[in-house]
Amino acid sequence: MESKNWNSEFPEVPEHVHQTVLSTLAELEHRKVKRVKRMKKSKIVILIAAAIAVLGTTVCAAEIFKWNNRAAEVFVADEEQRQKLVTEQIATGEYQTVSDAGLTIQAIQTVQDNSCFYALFEITADDKSLQITPGHDMGLLIDYPGGENPFGYVGYGFVDEREQAVSNSRYYEIYGTKTNPQSTGNEDLNMKLQFTSLNAPGGKATAGEVVLTGNWEFLLNLHATEPVCYELNKEYQIDGCAVTVKSVELTPISVKLTCDEAGARQLEKLEGVNIDQADSLVSLYINGIKYQDGTIVEEEGYQELWVSCENGDYTKAARLTSVIDTDKVSALLVGDANDEIALP
């Protein structure tokens, strides 16, 4: 089924549709291309230095930084774990507020490790009659001054109605997933976020009409997180198959699991799926984290961030439902049978 040439089953572009496109393109001759001024690198460097000087204080301010409730809901963690994440600079309080064109945007908190990134903002319209709904959207540009974009996927949007009543103020969240294993280096990452507009609710796939435009810029310095790494190279029984697990990397908010491809192919066959066609292996869903004292932290195993199958390795990264204490982990529990991948 996968090898079928699906494209040939779909109709060719009818001539009148093609003519419509051509006439539309011809019409553009009378329109101008809008250009956006890009900041000079030197200016970016100065701004970053200023931001780091300000944000650097957040490290010292770990004791006084309090998690935002919304962020605490997203990353299920008790008070002790929250403080630990602040101390380890995985969670960072932000103290940047920008107002322009009747809209105030406040950066509240970031949470990140070597696999994923989360940023929480609160966006408030001065005009209280302007109701910001979950369907509204923000024009957003992201730059990585001096570095490449390490994120394979960045999702963003206002929190939905179940979480917050509709008013002139609403939380706005950005989620990023680093899909390139090579990009998970040990250097801090500087991100420049530039909001450019507030847009009315549009369709499912893009923004609606622009409500207001402005310039709201934020510089975030994301601290690199060292994961706890286990080089295992050991065979485990997973769903009745012998699978060699090469390594496990843990941070308090995510896990990266690397198996040999041959083992993954056995599971693929058993489950009747096709990992080359982006199917997930249910038998490798991480459904629990077992602590040394026998306590089990249940996980929603399907929270995959990315999967790769290359060079003889099958690697997956998943965000954890609850924050974990990496020092106490004794095993990962995978699949419906909760097969144990014991850690030394």
User: Which of 164, 179, 322, 338 touches other proteins (CB under 8 A)?
Assistant: 179
CB of 68 or CB of 280, closer to other proteins: 280
Which of 56, 155, 185, 240: binder of other proteins (CB under 8 A)?
155
Question: Which position among 39, 280, 320, 335 is part of the footprint of other proteins (CB under 8 A)?
Answer: 280
Identified binder of other proteins from the candidate list 212, 273, 309, 343, rule CB under 8 A: 273
Least distance from C-beta 61 to other proteins, angstroms?
32
The stretch among 10-18, 49-57, 84-92, 333-341 that binds other proteins (CB under 8 A) is 10-18
Q: How far is CA 284 from CA 124, 205, 233, 245, 274, in A?
A: 42, 31, 16, 11, 14
CA distances from 336 to 72, 262, 300, 332 (A): 28, 21, 11, 13
Give the nearer residue to other proteins in terms of CB position, either 81 or 239: 239
Binder among 42, 129, 206, 311 for other proteins (CB under 8 A): 206
Residues contacting 320, CB < 8 A, separation 6+: 252, 253, 254, 255, 286, 289, 299, 303
- Using CA atoms, how far apart are residues 304 and 177, in angstroms rounded to an integer? 10
10, 148, 276, 344: which one binds other proteins (CB under 8 A):
10
Footprint of other proteins on 12-51 (CB under 8 A): 12-14, 16-18, 20-21, 24-25, 27-29, 31, 33-36
Considering the complex, state which of residue 54 and residue 134 has its C-beta at the smaller distance from other proteins. Answer: 134
Positive or negative, the CA dihedral 92, 52, 147, 217 is positive
Q: Which stretch binds other proteins (CB under 8 A): 66-74, 112-120, 216-224, 296-304?
A: 296-304
Dig out the tokens for 17 from the structure. Answer: 């549709």
- Could you say which of 56, 152, 185, 240 contacts other proteins (CB under 8 A)? 152
Whether 157 and 171 have beta carbons less than 8 Å apart is answered as no
**Binding of residue 312 to other proteins (CB under 8 A):** no
Number of residues located near other proteins, criterion CB under 8 A: 53
Is residue 269 part of the contact set for other proteins (CB under 8 A)? no
The two beta strands, 151-158 and 304-310, are unpaired
Closest CA to 106 of 189, 216, 206, 187: 216
Binding segment (CB under 8 A) for other proteins, from list 158-166, 253-261, 271-279, 322-330: 271-279
Is the CB of 54 or the CB of 181 nearer to other proteins? 181
Residue 304 lies near other proteins (rule: CB under 8 A): yes
DSSP string, 113-181: -SSEEEEEEEEEESSTT--B-TT-EEEEEEE-TTS---EEEEEEEE--TTTS--BSEEEEEEEEEE--G
Sheet strands (E) in 159-261: 169-178, 189-199, 210-222, 228-238, 241-250, 254-260
Measured between alpha carbons, how far is 259 from 335 in angstroms, rounded to an integer? 14
Q: Looking at beta carbons only, is 217 or 223 nearer to other proteins?
A: 217
80 within 8 A of 74, measured Cβ to Cβ: no
318 in Cβ contact with 288 (< 8 Å): no
Joined tokens for residue 248:
């496990």
**Least distance from other proteins to the Cβ atom of residue 190, Å:** 16
Amino acid at 323: V
Q: Which residues of the chain form contacts with other proteins (CB under 8 A)?
A: 1-2, 4, 6-7, 9-14, 16-18, 20-21, 24-25, 27-29, 31, 33-36, 139, 141-142, 149, 152-153, 155, 157, 177, 179, 196, 202-207, 273, 277-280, 302-306
